[in-house]
């Protein structure tokens, strides 16, 4: 399938799927794709009920509801991608920018994302992310990163959970832990990590997600 044809079909499929599950689809879906991953960047994606929850400062309820819906939706999206891209989707991640009603869905493709990629400033990027991760929990056992396009940088971490976090997950507190980690890591990434200086780009959006079952984490920077 040609690239433009695939992007058109994937955009339509994802928009329809989100509308069916959430009752309202995003205003726009922008797709970025390379041999490592596919990214769906959603704009103006929030329902009236969700907007009400956020206005009442019910962030945990907002995220819990979306967690349930996304868990039911991702297998269908993953199957669509594997059929049309003719490759395996190894992991899927998602996060929301509640301040601007944006969102992101990321699918890692095959095992290509494990390979090291060097680009201008990559050593500083890895050093800063490693230092911050160590400050919050422990240094990653593995870290890698890559550009999907000139505006989108993906950073993958493996092996960062500490024992108390694993115990909380075993006790069924994974959703609460993820909410706390998102608030903390996003705040610290903004305050402590100076990627704008290293990469000479201004950050527009920042997303973070985890796969607790595999002890994997993904950070996505979207620059202006």
pLDDT tens by residue, 155-214: 999 999 999 999 999 999 998 899 899 999 999 999 999 999 999 999 999 999 999 999
What is the model's pLDDT at position 176? 87
Query: Which residues are CB-contacts of 143 (< 8 A; sequence separation ≥ 6)?
Result: 126, 129, 130, 155, 156, 157, 158
Task: Give the pLDDT confidence score for residue 39 in this predicted structure.
Answer: 97
Dihedral angle computed from the Cα positions of residues 25, 210, 220 and 102, in that order, rounded to the nearest 10 degrees: 20
The dihedral built from the CA positions of residue 125, 127, 132 and 137, taken in this order, carries a sign that is positive
Q: Beta strands 152-158 and 102-109: pairing type?
A: unpaired
Q: Please, which pLDDT band fits residue 57 given cuts at 50, 70 and 90?
A: confident
Cα(88)–Cα(82) distance, rounded to whole angstroms?
Answer: 6
User: What tens digit of pLDDT does each residue of 62-109 get?
Assistant: 888 888 888 889 999 999 999 998 889 999 999 998 888 899 999 999
Taken in order 42, 47, 52, 56, the sign of the CA dihedral is negative
Residue 1: band (very low, low, confident or very high) from pLDDT cuts 50, 70, 90? low
Report if pTM > 0.95: no
Mean pLDDT computed over 15-44: 91
Q: What pLDDT is stored for residue 116 in this prediction?
A: 76
Q: How far apart are CA 154 and CA 37, in angstroms?
A: 9
Report the DSSP beta bridge partners of residue 39.
Answer: 32, 106
What percent of the chain is predicted at pLDDT more than 70? 99
């Amino acid at each position: 399938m040609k690239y433009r044809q695939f992007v058109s079909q994937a955009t339509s499929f994802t928009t329809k799927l989100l509308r069916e599950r959430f009752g309202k689809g995003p205003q726009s879906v922008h797709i970025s794709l390379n041999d490592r991953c596919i990214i769906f960047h959603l704009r103006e994606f929030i329902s009236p009920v969700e907007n009400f929850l956020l206005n009442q400062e019910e962030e945990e309820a907002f995220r819990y509801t979306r967690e349930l819906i996304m868990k039911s939706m991702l297998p269908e999206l993953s199957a669509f991608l594997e059929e049309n891209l003719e490759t395996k989707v190894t992991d899927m991640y998602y996060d929301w920018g509640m301040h601007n009603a944006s969102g992101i869905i990321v699918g890692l493709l095959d095992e290509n994302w494990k390979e090291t990629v060097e680009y201008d400033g990559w050593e500083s990027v890895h050093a800063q992310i490693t230092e911050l991760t160590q400050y919050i929990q422990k240094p990653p056992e593995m870290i890698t990163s890559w550009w999907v396009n000139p505006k989108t940088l993906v950073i993958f971490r493996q092996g960062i959970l500490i024992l108390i976090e694993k115990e909380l997950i075993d006790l069924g507190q994974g959703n609460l832990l993820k909410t706390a980690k998102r608030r903390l890591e996003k705040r610290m990434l903004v305050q402590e990590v100076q990627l704008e200086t290293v990469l000479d780009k201004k950050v527009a959006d920042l997303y973070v997600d985890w796969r607790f079952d595999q002890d994997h984490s993904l950070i996505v920077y979207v620059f202006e």
